[in-house]
Amino acid sequence: RNVIIDCDPGIDDSLAIMLALSLEELHVEGITIVCGNSPVEMGAGNARKVLKQMNRLDVPIYLGAEKPLKREYVSALDTHGADGLGESWLPEVPETRQELDAVEFLSRTIRARAEEKTGCSVIALGPMTNLAHLIQTDPEAFSMIEEIVSMGGSFKSHGNCSPVAEYNYWADPDGAALVYETAASQRKKIVMVGLDVTRKIVLTPNLLEYMKRLNPETGQFVQAITKFYFDFHWQWEHIVGCVINDPLAVAYFIDPSICEGFESFVQIETEGISLGQSVVDSMNFYRKEPNAKVLTQVDTYRFFEMMLSRVLEVEPESLDILENVL
Ligand code: RIB
Ligand code: CA
């Protein structure tokens, strides 16, 4: 399946890119960058560092929004480190700047694949500003997107930017709101991979040690970019390990059976104390057609079986002790 990864690298975005590029089921058309965890130029530089690590600098990177639709830009560098990649301070990778910007690339690629009848989906791992700009400039192209899987929001889990809001939707609530409103008007359903399921995906020191044993080079790269994230999670979420949200959106896209959820009408709050909250109408108060599939359960074992076997390039059958490493 053809896919564009829209992201804000970012530590877990980087792990998601590693998973996506190791899946032969996926053709990654390109990576579009949005301001989020990191400012957009830093995010593009971090994406290049990950592509270099994967020996995949053939994948094109396109720069998108430098700030949210209306709100002031607020980064998450406190979580992802001053370099946006866990203060691994990996060497900068010279860039081959694309002349197209992210929205032009999204529009042209989605239209081309729709005309060829092969289709193109979008896995959105950051604030949804680029998708919002696509709606504003080419709503028909937005309607042609085969599937939109968004890491963001939360149904019943507490927020990570406020009591109720998750960062991607909190950082650009107007962008997220426009995407969900447009999905409703175009009869599309956004797959919402929210904190309810991603909080169950914790990379622990034990799992990291196992990764290093299975593939020292890749394991050490993952360790280099996640150490800062481990410290952040101990300090703020009081857990040993780090929640790797974004790779779950990629894993779901490849194998939806690893998660369960339900269809619902979802709105994003754009102001006040609940700004950025994904309001999930699970009891259908508003009697509106669903514009989302909200994920609520995940098979953690199957996620890590996919993540480790693909990213570390080992056969799933060789993960004989994964059960007791988890
Ligand atoms: O709230 C978690 C999400 O916000 C993840 O995508 C993380 O990378 C940040 O973008
Ligand atoms: Ca992200």
DSSP 214-227: H-HHHHHHHHHHHH
What is the structure's pLDDT at 99? 84
What is the structure's pLDDT at 95? 87
Span from the CA of 287 to the centroid of ligand 2 (angstroms): 32
Contacts of 246 (CB under 8 A, 6+ apart): 7, 10, 12, 13, 15, 16, 125, 151
Evaluated on CA atoms 87, 93, 94, 100, the torsion sign reads: negative
Angstrom distance (rounded) from CA 85 to CA 32: 17
Angstrom distance (rounded) from CA 62 to CA 174: 22
Return the H-helix or E-strand segment holding 115.
Answer: helix 102-115
Rounded to 10 degrees, the C-alpha dihedral 37/41/43/47 comes to: 180
Q: Are 248 and 201 in contact (CB under 8 A)?
A: yes
Q: Is 168 in the pocket of ligand 1 (CB under 6 A)?
A: yes
- Written as six digits, the tokens of 87 are 């203060």
User: Which ligand lies nearest to the CA atom of residue 75 in the structure?
Assistant: 1
- The number of the ligand 1 atom at minimal distance from the alpha carbon of 11 is 8
Span from the CA of 107 to the centroid of ligand 1 (angstroms): 24
Angstrom distance (rounded) from CA 6 to CA 292: 18
Q: Which residues of the chain have pLDDT under 50?
A: none
What is the structure's pLDDT at 28? 98
What is the structure's pLDDT at 122? 99
What is the structure's pLDDT at 210? 97
Q: Which value, in Å, is the radius of gyration of the alpha carbons in the chain?
A: 18
Query: Which residue spans within 187-264 are E strands per DSSP?
Result: 190-193, 202-203, 242-243, 259-264
Q: Is 246 in the pocket of ligand 1 (CB under 6 A)?
A: yes
Span from the CA of 317 to the centroid of ligand 1 (angstroms): 31
What is the structure's pLDDT at 226? 98
Span from the CA of 126 to the centroid of ligand 2 (angstroms): 4
- The number of the ligand 1 atom at minimal distance from the alpha carbon of 9 is 8
Please give the model's pTM, rounded to 2 decimal places. 0.98
Q: Is 172 in the pocket of ligand 1 (CB under 6 A)?
A: no
Return the H-helix or E-strand segment holding 295.
Answer: strand 292-298
Strand order in the sheet with 61-63: 61-63, 27-33, 2-7, 121-124, 148-151, 190-193, 292-298, 259-264
